[in-house]
Amino acid sequence: MKTYQGTRFTKEHEWARLEGGEVYIGISDYAQHAMGDIVFVELPKAGKKIKAGEQVSVVESVKTASDVYSPVSGTVVRINDVLNDSPELLNAEPYENWIAVIAADDPAETDKLMNDQQYADFCAKEG
Amino acid sequence: MSRYIPDTEEDRARMLDAIGLSSTEELFSDIPEELRFKGSLELPESMAELELASHMKTLAGRNANAEAYPCFLGAGAYDHFIPSIVGHIISKPEFYTAYTPYQPEISQGMLQAIFEYQTMICRLTGMDVSNASMYDGATALVEAALMAVRSTGRSRVLAATGIHPEYRDTLRSYSRFNGIKITEVEAVSETVDKGRLESILSESPDDIAAIIIQSPNFYGYIEDMKSVAELAAKYGALSIACVDPISLALLKPPGECGVDIVTGEGQSLGNPLSFGGPYLGFLAAKKELVRKMPGRIVGQTTDHEGRRGFTLTLQAREQHIRREKAVSNICSNEALNALAAAAYLSVMGKEGLKEAANLCLQKSHYACDRLLETGKFVKISDAPFFKEFTVKSLNEPVSAINERLLKHGIIGGLELGRFDAGRFDAGSLDSGRSDHGRFDLGGADLGGSDPRRFDTGRFDAGKLNPGGRDPGKKDCWLVAVTEKRTKQEIDRFVAIAAGGDR
């Protein structure tokens, strides 16, 4: 299983990466693998205010549709429009293809999430 | 499997023996002795089959039915002609007896039929996608409202009072516990008040998920769909139109008017009146809304050998996968009724449907003109109508006219005054009325319960809509004239309605 140095993770298999005061979010390699072929990503609207743990997106695969919860509180500032036409990028490169960028109310919030090693252990336990 | 499975005394004895009981009565031993009915029911002796068939026919003959009586009643269910091939197609046992025939491995026939149905609904409505059908016109309309709420993330819908009162009731039932607010918007001259729509939208521009209209509306009049759609779009809301599918053979498709979601009652398409059901609702939408769409959708695909095939698609929206987050909890459709609609549309064809629609238009206008000529009725609106219209009776209660018609073997129009009694329209009653009056269900007996117990807000949707009641419909009569009505029938209907005795 791939992880990504410097990336933080939630128990719901989202990742969060702090860059220049903004938090990029996406779904982990574990998540994309479990879901199978992703066929649709429902993106939030830019400007949407969101709290950590709230639904920010829905990712739909051939076999299921899963909610994506925001790892941090803040405001959605950008969304990755490319996913509208190419949702399969989340399967191919889950850590290169972010879903949304959030201007976090408290960027330090990402520190509370699991680091890559902790997440790898967490996934190992999930089986 | 045998079509007839006998159940003889010996069979029953063997079954009882197998489960260790000596009588059928013992099956009910869990029900306390004192609650069990003793003795025999007061029923007549059994009849011989021949006797029974004749008895049942006599009973059935006492019904006034649209086969024997010319029918001028509509209000959501219409007496249209059904070509006999429709019945033959839906009676094929492969279609008629199949239960949930959606496995692509064994149900290509039904899946293709539904796909064709969806295609025809899209062509009629001018929409991109249709689902496999819903329960009826009312549920389709409500599901469209829910779709709009999901898509926009807003929670209030504007519903024109020209929408069928029972559909508005259904909308209220669904909305009661899920946070959707309904604001009913009054009509001016029997079509929705666009000035009022605009003022509500401009007062709360980020609040409104959808504007819902029906066209032709409950009173028969055609709404200005394009203006309503433009108004909705201007404020980021969706427009929903509930339409008569036959009217679409003549009128501009809602899709061309910019409408986002189109729904309607599909009974007119090859389904008999049949005491009110089963019918089908149709729901079609623009492509970008497909993932918010409720219910089954059949898609076209290719199998592993490259052959054209059909299968249910986009199922991740549905409750067997999405559970409580499913876009809808309707997980069924009305497959056989949708098949009847598809068979009807294909046998009528483009020209046939236009002809039927044109006959409805001509005959209903003829009937309206004749009624007005008698001097006993007046129009309540100059808005255009398609196959149904409302007149006001000047001298006589509508109920008396309907009774006289029935005596002469004619089923009259709908007495609109009955909706004023609040029976079907409790939610839009004027909040200015006394609390007692608000829940006076048209004199219906509430089983001795204290009417005040309804004052807790349970039935109080009326508060959403102060002044929503339309007192002007007291002597109004809603008359439907389909292509089946002959000139003779219409002339006789008019003569008897005007007090004549022909």
Report the pLDDT averaged over residues B253-258: 97
Chain B CB contacts of A62 under 8 Å are: 316
Which pLDDT score, from 0 to 100, does residue B442 have?
Answer: 35
Coil vs helix vs strand at B33: helix
Cα–Cα distance, B453 to B443 (Å, whole number): 17
Please judge whether B316 and A67 are an interchain contact, meaning their C-beta atoms are less than 8 angstroms apart: no
Digit-coded pLDDT (tens) for A62-115: 888 899 999 999 999 999 999 999 999 999 999 999 999 999 999 889 999 999
Pairing of strands B191-192, B187-188: antiparallel
pLDDT tens-digit profile of B46-91?
999 999 999 999 999 888 888 899 999 999 999 999 999 999 999 9
Query: Which pair of tokens denotes residue A2?
Result: 């791939």
Task: Report percent pLDDT > 90 for chain B.
Answer: 71
What confidence score (pLDDT) does residue B345 get?
98
Within an 8 Å CB–CB cutoff, is residue B325 touching chain A? yes
Inter-axis angle of helices B225-234 and B194-203, nearest 10: 10
Average pLDDT over chain B, rounded to an integer: 88
Confidence band, pLDDT 50/70/90 cuts, at residue B372: very high
Structure tokens at B239: 């427009």
Chain B residue numbers touching A42 (CB-CB < 8 A): 291
Q: If pLDDT is split at 50, 70 and 90, which confidence band does B441 have?
A: very low
Q: How many CB atoms lie within 10 A of CB B388?
A: 29
Q: What's the pLDDT tens digit per position in B335-369?
A: 999 999 999 999 999 999 999 999 999 999 999 99
Which residues in chain B have their CB less than 8 angstroms from residue A65's CB? 316-317, 321-322, 325
Structure-token pair, residue B467: 């002044």
In tens, the pLDDT along B119-161 reads 999 999 999 999 999 999 999 999 999 999 999 989 999 999 9
- Closest Cα in chain A, distance from residue B248 (Å): 33
**Distance, CA of A90 to CA of A21 (rounded, Å):** 24
Q: What is the tens place of the pLDDT at every residue in B392-427?
A: 999 999 999 999 999 999 999 999 988 754 444 333
Q: How far is the C-alpha of A37 from the C-alpha of A90, rounded, in Å?
A: 9
Q: Does B322 touch chain A (CB under 8 A)?
A: yes
Q: Which residue of A has its CA nearest to B322?
A: A65
Interface of B with A in 430-489 (CB under 8 A): none
Nearest CA in chain B to A61: B316
pLDDT of residue B420: 56
3-state helix, strand and coil shares in percent for chain B, rounded to the nearest 5: 45, 15, 40
> Are the beta carbons of A60 and B316 separated by less than 8 Å?
yes
> How close is the nearest chain B Cα to the Cα of A6, in Å?
33
What's the token pair of residue B415?
Answer: 């007495």
Of A42, A64, A67, the CB nearest to B321: A64
Enter the pTM of the model.
0.83
How many angstroms separate the CA atoms of A103 and A22, rounded? 5
For chain A, first and last CA: distance in Å?
12
Mutation target among B287, B312, B321 for the A interface, most CBs of A within 10 A: B321
For residue B205, cis peptide bond before it (omega within 30 degrees of 0): no
Residue B247 has which token pair?
């009217």
pLDDT of amino acid B2: 65
Number of inter-chain CB pairs under 8 A, A vs B:
18
Q: Which pLDDT score is estimated for B330?
A: 77
| Gyration radius from chain A CA atoms | 13
